[in-house]
Amino acid sequence: MIRFALHGGAGVIERAALSAQREEDYRQTLGEIARDALGRLQAGESAVAVVEQAVVALEESPLFNAGYGSVLNADGLVEMDAAIMDGRDRRCGAVAALGRIAHPVSVARAIMDDGRHVLLAGRGAQRFAVEQGFALLREEQLVISARQQQLIAAKAENKVSLDHDQQFDTFDPEDRTGTVGAVARDAQGNLAAATSTGGMTNKHPGRVGDSPLIGSGTWADNDHLCLSATGHGEYFIRAQVAHDVAARMAYAGNNLLDACAATLAQVASMGGNGGLIAIDRDGHLALPFNSAGMYRGWVGADGQVRVAIYGDEAG
């Protein structure tokens, strides 16, 4: 049974703050990418190829915090994290703090295919990408003006927050919205997951979140599930979200929904919020989140593509 889901980030997403036009842009983009993925899976493409392509399309869109349109770090630069994992044999590839490359998920894929390493970071990751033939962009080619405005606001707010010694509250939850990811089960029953993000606005240069960390923000093994997470990365690392869901299924015998709920409850108990998309070996789908909303699209059991944004929408 072919299944697919994608997300464009979880966070404080409120109807009042989103214009009708912008909401429509999100729904249309999520739907188009999901329909393209469905077509590819129906045409026999592998789960890993389909999740890569879906994340490439999400990176291409300025609506999301990944690739073009990523948030800016404290230096005003884009540094991105991405990972991809193939459930057939748990092969995986990832990049962290990567700048000047249009599609970090495809560099992660190239690292996986190369096979020597799993994770490359910083300038070394950029050099690997160039060695593999990826184009090196100018810094400004990934930057959109809305992110420059967010950085200015974040820096102003940081200053205020530090004055009040609230250093742990300096990041606007809204800024974390936009990490993207995709999970798929192909016609052969193989599972795969991919995640890509620009991280947090005003982050320290070199900061790596959960997205590129296998077992934290990304996971796929054919025995259990494929999963891509989005949220406050530091909490998702400490809770080992992706592998924790897999482990609850493997060792506690939980079903997918119960495992996801238990893991997200643990994240919440630490003070973190966010969500995830996951598909298990039997094709069950889960799209849980404990934030106000999560941009998401999926192929339902009836084979139809659906999209949703807010918490009170089905799915």
The contact set with its own copies (CB under 8 A) reads: 73, 79, 90-92, 96-97, 115-128, 167-168, 170, 203-209, 213-216, 233-234, 237-240, 243-244, 247-248, 250-252, 270
Reported for 42-48, long-range contacts at CB under 8 A and 24+ positions apart, including other chains, are 42/2, 42/187, 44/186, 44/187, 45/186, 46/186, 46/188, 46/190, 46/192, 47/86, 47/87, 47/184, 47/185, 47/186, 47/190, 47/191, 47/192, 47/226, 48/84, 48/86, 48/109, 48/184, 48/190, 48/192
- Residue 79 or residue 186: which is nearer to its own copies going by CB? 79
Give the closest residue to 108 by CA, choosing from 190, 43, 180. 180
How far apart CA 28 and CA 268 sit, in angstroms, is 31
Catalytic residue list contains 177? no
CB of 96: closest distance to its own copies in angstroms?
5
Judged by DSSP in three states, 38 sits in helix
In the set 179, 195, 201, 230, the catalytic residue is 179
User: Please, which residues have CB within 8 angstroms of residue 313's CB and are 6 or more apart in sequence?
Assistant: none
CB of 133: closest distance to its own copies in angstroms?
16
CB of 300: closest distance to its own copies in angstroms?
30
Angle at alpha carbon of residue 230, lines to 291 and 124, rounded to 5°: 155
Judged by DSSP in three states, 73 sits in coil
| Residue 275: both structure tokens together | 């969500």
Q: In what order do the strands lie in the sheet with 218-221?
A: 218-221, 225-231, 274-280, 285-286
CB of 214: closest distance to its own copies in angstroms?
5
How far apart CA 30 and CA 54 sit, in angstroms, is 10
70, 142 contact by CB (below 8 A): yes
- Residue 99 or residue 275: which is nearer to its own copies going by CB? 99
- Residue 266 or residue 290: which is nearer to its own copies going by CB? 266
- Residue 216 or residue 222: which is nearer to its own copies going by CB? 216
- Residue 98 or residue 279: which is nearer to its own copies going by CB? 98
- Residue 245 or residue 305: which is nearer to its own copies going by CB? 245
CB of 189: closest distance to its own copies in angstroms?
20
294, 231 contact by CB (below 8 A): no
Give the closest residue to 87 by CA, choosing from 164, 22, 183, 166. 183
- Residue 38 or residue 84: which is nearer to its own copies going by CB? 84
Give the closest residue to 184 by CA, choosing from 258, 91, 109, 86. 86
CB of 162: closest distance to its own copies in angstroms?
11
CB of 7: closest distance to its own copies in angstroms?
22
- Which residues are designated catalytic? 179
